[in-house]
Chain A
Amino acid sequence: MTHHLSRLFGIIALSLGLMLAVPATQAQAQVNPTASSVTEDALFDTLGPGNAAVAGRTSIADPNAGYLIKPENRSWAALQGSTLHTVSIVLIVGMIVLLAGFYMIRGRIRVEGGLSGRKILRFTAIERFAHWTLASTFIILALTGLNLIIGRSVILPLVGEATFGTMTAWGKLAHNFLAWPFMVALALIVVFWLVHNLPARVDWQWIKQGGGLLKKGAHPPAGKFNAGQKLIFWSVVLGGAALSFTGYMLMFPMQAGGFESWQFYQTIHALAAGILSAIIIAHIYLGSVGMEGAFDAMGSGEVDENWAKEHHALWVEEVQGAAAKGTAAPGRTHPAE
């Protein structure tokens, strides 16, 4: 009896179990390709924000060919296509407007004591050679580079697509080849002038007085280079080094890596170029129309003694002191004034 009962229970349990199990096995047996169907959305979701690139395998050897979709590239396109375009124009035009304003208020900075007619050697021929190599290559690099950013909205409408294309192709060649003498000249000026551009106590005084730029008759003492010139030097050296490195990476993209690196280097290159160009425009202004007697330093290499005394008093003392020692005369000689 108990045996029969247990058998009955067994059958009931089995049939119950089957009843429950049947729908489950049916669901498993039914092929549902949607479940394994990989959608673009699903892949983007798993990648998460900011890392949205779908990549896979291709039969092409180039690793970059494996990227199927990189939506983030559109952000760089917007940055390069409009933001850097605007930033470059603002930097260049802003600096020119600033300098024009400065010229109108302050005018040309004259040598207050008048020209003495006596000359002091400020830069040797090799220093001037390094400077002018750096300067001439920089100007061409800056103009051809600026052309890549703003040329299509400034020059293209004027000359037409064919001329602009040819012009820019030559500009690109010039940019690629002149980068090398630029780098050599940059290294040379570091060798020649680094020692004169180390920060000194006297620089603080110069900065506090605004370099005497804004007030007539104010001439804070300075060595061979004043704090402003030191700032220019370090801007050129650091900016030039950044431009050289990023430029090298852009010229040899396979060494730089993938798309993110190229976008990064291009952005840094354009920004550094814009900032350095603005600084150099100010430097060109002060070295030419902005200040009487300043151009001679890089022109003939010899500056007027009165100019030197006004702007680089400590350097004049140093040079004339050395000269005096050379002639075995004790103390410093002061020319009659």
Chain B
Amino acid sequence: MARMKFLCDADRCIECNACVTACKNEHEVPWGINRRRVVTLNDGLPGERSVSMACMHCTDAPCASVCPVSCFYTTADAVVLHNKDTCIGCGYCSYACPFGAPQYPQTANFGTRGKMDKCTYCSGGPEPDMSQAEYVKYGANRLAEGKLPLCAEMCSTKALLAGDGDIIAEIYRERVVTRGYGSGAWGWRTAYGETLTV
């Protein structure tokens, strides 16, 4: 089984936000929920870089370690998913997440948090693969269809890479060697406890 990861090549990302839009469209994500976002560092300054960020599907995921109801689970592909039927919307995972991945719809009075929503690596949830129930709660299950996450698949500059960690790391290394520079695999050290060396 693969160890699925995301890698955003910050030297290629042009902050077009198409990954954000594609994600919202593919999964029919409700208003106000951003499973993926693009953050621009040093905006307007020399060395400006944009990074597309979503759930990084951490090794030893901090969200899972703080969840009071243990609703998180890790798939065979090392994707971190959660069960919305169990989730109580307490918000602890959002306090623990280093990447700001967990999102909450406002469902009731006093701004009560609804059930947490986050990037599923386009691989749904605990319901049967590609079922309607799964689609309503978690969105499309592209992994079950043999496809990779849409955000990365449609990235116009191929800045955002998704797939087995070793393979995308190799693609990135080739790029860095060929062009002679690279700002690194953003978030890998925090998410996987190891960074990518070229």
Binding site for B on A (CB under 8 A): 33-34, 36-41, 43, 54-60, 64-74, 76-78, 80-82, 147-149, 151-152, 156, 161-162, 164-165, 168-169, 172, 176, 250-254, 259, 262-263, 266
Contact = CB atoms under 8 A, between A and B. Distances in A.
A126 to B, nearest CB: 30
A253 B91 contact: yes
Contacts of B155: none
A77 B96 contact: yes
Given A37-B183, A149-B68, A152-B70, A73 B97 contact: yes
Contacts of B105: none
A73 B189 contact: no
A23 to B, nearest CB: 20
Chain A to chain B: the 9 pairs with minimum beta-carbon distance, closest first? A77-B62, A165-B86, A81-B65, A34-B181, A56-B41, A77-B96, A148-B68, A68-B39, A71-B190
17 contacts: A34-B181, A36-B47, A37-B183, A38-B10, A43-B41, A56-B39, A56-B51, A58-B39, A59-B37, A65-B100, A69-B186, A69-B187, A71-B98, A77-B63, A156-B70, A164-B86, A176-B112
Interface range for B: 35 or more
- Secondary structure call for the B interface: loop
A165 B126 CA distance: 15
Interface of B: 10-11, 17, 34, 37-43, 46-47, 49, 51, 53, 62-63, 65-71, 83, 85-92, 94-100, 110-112, 179-187, 189-190, 195
Given A40-B187, A56-B40, A60-B34, A82 B65 contact: yes
Contacts, number: 159
A266 B92 contact: yes
B184 A77 contact: no
A38 B179 CA distance: 15
Nearest to B70: A152
A36 B11 CA distance: 11
Given A59-B38, A147-B68, A172-B89, 5 more contacts: A69-B187, A81-B65, A164-B86, A169-B88, A263-B95
B86 A68 contact: no
Contact of B95 (A38, A69, A73, A252): A73
Given A57-B43, A74-B62, A67 B100 contact: yes
A63 to B, nearest CB: 11
Nearest to A78: B65
B115 to A, nearest CB: 9
A74 B183 CA distance: 23
Nearest to B185: A40
Nearest to A253: B91
Contact of B85 (A41, A68, A165, A262): A165
B53 A37 contact: no
Contacts of B87: 165
B99 A161 contact: no
A65 B183 contact: no
A81 B40 CA distance: 32
Contacts of A253: 91
A69 B190 contact: yes
B111 A151 contact: no
Contacts of A43: 41
A93 to B, nearest CB: 19
Contact of B11 (A37, A151, A156): A37
Nearest to A267: B95
A303 B21 CA distance: 71
Given A74-B96, A253-B91, A162 B40 contact: no
Contact of A68 (B41, B65, B92, B195): B41
B181 A266 contact: no
A74 B70 CA distance: 17
Nearest to A151: B68
A168 B98 contact: no
A57 B95 CA distance: 20
Contact of A38 (B42, B91, B99, B180): B42
Contacts of A57: 39-40, 43
Contact of B184 (A41, A162, A169): A41
